[in-house]
Structure 1
Amino acid sequence: MKKITLFLMLFITLGSNAQEIIRTKKDNDLKLSSLPYYNYGKGLGITSPDSLFQFNIRFRIQNRVTYFDNENQDPYFEGQVRRLRLRFDGFVGNPKWLYVIQLSFGAGDVGVERTGENLNVIRDAIVYYRPSKKWQLGFGVTKLPGTRQTVNSSGALQLSDRSVNNMRFGIDRDFGFHFANLNEVKDRFSYNFKAAVTMGEGRNWTTNNPNIHVIKDDNGLSYTGKIELLPFGTFKKDGHYFEGDILREPKPKVMVSGAYNFNAKARKASGQTGDLLLEARDMSSVLLDAIAKYNGWALMATYMSRTSKDPITQNPLDATQTRAVFTGHGMDYQLSYVFPSKYELIARFSIQKVANEIRAYSPNTDQFTLGLNKYIWEHALKLQGEITNETLQYANGNSLKNWYLRFQIEVGI
């Protein structure tokens, strides 16, 4: 039994080493622009003896407990596995043909089960053709080139969740064609162009529920374009793909970016996400952000907005039933410092203003969070604690003040 165990360990080690050799020789490290995750190390990989197939597996989990104290409600505790992900990637036949698969199993990932709707465990399922280090073309479902916090993996965040603005204004995942032109150089001006032409309905969503009003005029597509500028060159170990200056940049590093998305005849309140609308609507999103890192300090600022010509939709069979496109704008400001001991202090302030046309449907929101993290193995093994205060301002003049206290452990490979 010991001999078999040693043989298997040796086999996996050789497979992982072969993976490194092939990636080095072929100049293909799977650094794809839309990879929606941060990694420390390479995971567990196997390459076939003829080098025609490569398979790599990773996982990560986020376990959390939260104490909620919302105004006009009794306080309560909540414990859950917020995220449980399996990820597979590699190539088939030729390292220029890559695949990326990511599956989710946490309740917060797959959503509430509804009659007639698929249980959506697929987060990413995409095939890439990468003819050179600069160019990549993908077909399938993955993240659109939105804000930096949206594109970053949830496993690479400093706080347990993305901001309230990213949740409502983010463009997230979609199925279709994804393109990127990468021009990143160390210590020199760098830039990236990214684009996507997709279905506009979010990640692999389908429904055959007869109780849901089906929009007939829903044959529009979503068009996304983005430019990223790195005036001082690339960050250490692709540091613009994870939050916080955990690597303590020895020189100041900055990235600014701008993205635009037009979703024609969208069916959901936030384009790719949100509740179903009662009529199709065109909507436009503008997404701007900037990040800076130096010597343990990290700063991030983001602006997001969504507009629609007529955001209120109405059920043609029942005029009293209406739903609204989530329009308005929001701003996030995030500042942190990582001590040499790998403890980190972080503060985030978010302001969300909904458009006047939908004030009756959604409140304005201000949210402030303070966090304390301990990085044991970069973002792959960390302890996170945070306290958040939230103020909701309603159109009738009423306001609610909520807050929560949370502890989370993340582990992954």
Structure 2
Amino acid sequence: MYILRILFLLFVFLVPEMVSAQATESAKITLSPEKGFYVESADGFMGFKISTRLQQQFGFTVPMDYSDAVQPNFLMRRARIRIHGYFYDKKLTYFVQTQMDKGNFTLSNAEFRWKATDNLQLNFGQLWPVGGRQFRTVSEAFQMIDRSPVSRSYWPGYDIGMIAQYNLEIGKKSLVKSYLSITHGEGMNKPSAEGGMAYGGRLEWLPFGTFAEGGDYRESDLYHEETPKLSLGGAVYYNQDAYVQIGGQGPNNLWKGQEDDISALYLDGVFKFNGLSILAEYADRKVDQEIIEQVVGDFFVQSYSLVVGGSGFSVQGGKFISPKTEPTLRVSLLNPHDNLQAAKAQFTQQNTYTLGLNHFLRGHHLKLQFELNLLNEEYAAAKDKMYLQVLTQFSISF
């Protein structure tokens, strides 16, 4: 809330000052869904834009065996405030983002971005490390209401460090994008790392050229690509001696933590043509010390890493049936490691089947989404469960 107060004060005091100076200095002020609220000094020395994203969600979950009551769900799924700006040189920009997801308020992004050349960009600060495609896609641009269970389960999380991106053109159309990240590996707002660093690398190949309006990271084919477009990607991630929390049974339910090595592989691809879009992702993550057996006083304790290892595959797609309406479909198969899940008394396999419908009032800036989900969960030492979940979400983003 302290950060929100600071942003509000900046908005209240700074913007009127710039507006009052408009008569003599001709400051540029614009407001649009695409650019948000944008202010630039007359001499071009500095500029910034303030934008927001609100996603209100309503739904309910019904156990198919009626063993539990129907669970209604009213949720402000996301509430974001974002500031993009530059100072002195438009090649050196900054990006700050606060977020309230499921009631948790955090500072997610706080980074500098330097466009060194047309093909090379360096980002520094708290940011997204290298990972799968959907993890690196902003929530504004989702085709479905949320990321797939696979992407949510195996994402690396925000971290502090740097990312370098380099684009290489091959021939007249083909393009290769490469990413390298080096972060401290301990997550958000950690000034120092307990263990080693985290390293990530990613390659993407676009054999038929770039997508319209960055469409390889905007999931629905809103621009109805006139020719087939394809992007194939792969990433590796290694976090050495990550200081992860562990939980279990015994006198203390949550242990302080321990150093652990985490490695992951991500493979993905997106295809678009004439209103049709298909996105597929595979993830595999390994956590070296998932289960630990300890003796604490008179207790024999089995504890486990709170970072989930395992694999999963997800495929989704949609096809516009009118300029603004798109039916969607997704199948997500999540297979976390059995021993770890059994220790946590959680599912060892989760299959999710989703039917959806999107109505875009103004692209991803203003949209209404509806989903019907069937979740099937298998347990090692308990009865399998099946749920029917209905979700509706209204999104505003500018």
Q: Classify the TM-score, shorter chain.
A: 0.7 to 0.9
Displacement after TM superposition at 1:218 (Å): 3.0
* Counterpart residue number, 1:104: 99
1:108-134: CA deviation from partner (whole Å, max 9, x where unpaired)? 4x2xxxxxxxxx520100012222121
Q: Which amino acid aligns with 1:138?
A: N
Among candidates 188, 201, 206, match of residue 203 of structure 1: 188
Displacement after TM superposition at 1:51 (Å): 1.6
Aligned partner of residue 339 in structure 1, secondary structure: coil
Displacement after TM superposition at 1:60 (Å): 1.2
Distance (whole Å) between structure 2 residues aligned to residue 40 and residue 292 of structure 1: 26
Among candidates 235, 243, 262, match of residue 259 of structure 1: 235
Q: Taking structure 1 as reference, are residues 13 and 305 closer, same or farther at Cα in structure 2, changes over 3 Å only?
A: farther
Distance (whole Å) between structure 2 residues aligned to residue 49 and residue 330 of structure 1: 52
Displacement after TM superposition at 1:42 (Å): 1.7
1:364-412: CA deviation from partner (whole Å, max 9, x where unpaired)? 1100111001001100000101111111101126200012111111011
Preserved contact between residue 140 and residue 175 of structure 1 (Cα < 8 Å): yes
Distance (whole Å) between structure 1 residues aligned to residue 320 and residue 157 of structure 2: 28
Structure-to-structure mapping, 1:298-337, within 5 angstroms: 298-314=277-293, 317=296, 319-324=300-305, 325-337=307-319
1:41-90: CA deviation from partner (whole Å, max 9, x where unpaired)? 22221112222211111111001111111352100212121111111111
Aligned partner of residue 185 in structure 2, secondary structure: coil
Preserved contact between residue 65 and residue 78 of structure 1 (Cα < 8 Å): yes
* Counterpart residue number, 1:136: 121
Among candidates 339, 356, 361, match of residue 357 of structure 1: 339
Q: Taking structure 1 as reference, are residues 83 and 339 closer, same or farther at Cα in structure 2, changes over 3 Å only?
A: same
Preserved contact between residue 291 and residue 302 of structure 2 (Cα < 8 Å): no
Q: Which amino acid aligns with 1:242?
A: R
Displacement after TM superposition at 1:173 (Å): 1.7
Q: Taking structure 1 as reference, are residues 191 and 346 closer, same or farther at Cα in structure 2, changes over 3 Å only?
A: same
Aligned partner of residue 339 in structure 2, secondary structure: helix
Distance (whole Å) between structure 1 residues aligned to residue 33 and residue 267 of structure 2: 28
Preserved contact between residue 186 and residue 234 of structure 1 (Cα < 8 Å): no
Displacement after TM superposition at 1:149 (Å): 0.9
- Extract unaligned runs of 5+ from structure 1: 20-38, 111-119, 208-216
Displacement after TM superposition at 1:267 (Å): 2.7
Preserved contact between residue 278 and residue 314 of structure 1 (Cα < 8 Å): no
Among candidates 79, 82, 86, match of residue 87 of structure 1: 82
Matched, 1:60 2:53: yes
Higher mean C-alpha deviation, range 62-71 or range 380-389? 62-71
Distance (whole Å) between structure 2 residues aligned to residue 251 and residue 55 of structure 1: 36
Q: CA RMSD in A?
A: 2.8
Q: Taking structure 1 as reference, are residues 314 and 139 closer, same or farther at Cα in structure 2, changes over 3 Å only?
A: farther
Q: Taking structure 1 as reference, are residues 101 and 334 closer, same or farther at Cα in structure 2, changes over 3 Å only?
A: same
TM, length-normalised to structure 2: 0.84
Distance (whole Å) between structure 2 residues aligned to residue 175 and residue 303 of structure 1: 25
Preserved contact between residue 185 and residue 233 of structure 1 (Cα < 8 Å): no
Distance (whole Å) between structure 2 residues aligned to residue 128 and residue 167 of structure 1: 26
* Counterpart residue number, 1:47: 40
Q: Taking structure 1 as reference, are residues 184 and 385 closer, same or farther at Cα in structure 2, changes over 3 Å only?
A: farther
TM, length-normalised to structure 1: 0.82
* Counterpart residue number, 1:29: none
Matched, 1:15 2:49: no
Preserved contact between residue 279 and residue 315 of structure 1 (Cα < 8 Å): no
- Extract unaligned runs of 5+ from structure 2: 1-15, 247-253
Distance (whole Å) between structure 2 residues aligned to residue 354 and residue 332 of structure 1: 14
* Counterpart residue number, 1:346: 328
Count of residue pairs the alignment pairs up:
365
Q: Which amino acid aligns with 2:365?
A: A
1:96-154: CA deviation from partner (whole Å, max 9, x where unpaired)? 2110011113434x2xxxxxxxxx52010001222212111121111122111111111
Aligned partner of residue 28 in structure 2, secondary structure: helix
Q: Taking structure 1 as reference, are residues 284 and 389 closer, same or farther at Cα in structure 2, changes over 3 Å only?
A: same
Distance (whole Å) between structure 1 residues aligned to residue 131 and residue 26 of structure 2: 37
1:205-253: CA deviation from partner (whole Å, max 9, x where unpaired)? 589xxxxxxxxx9322110110011000000011011111111100000
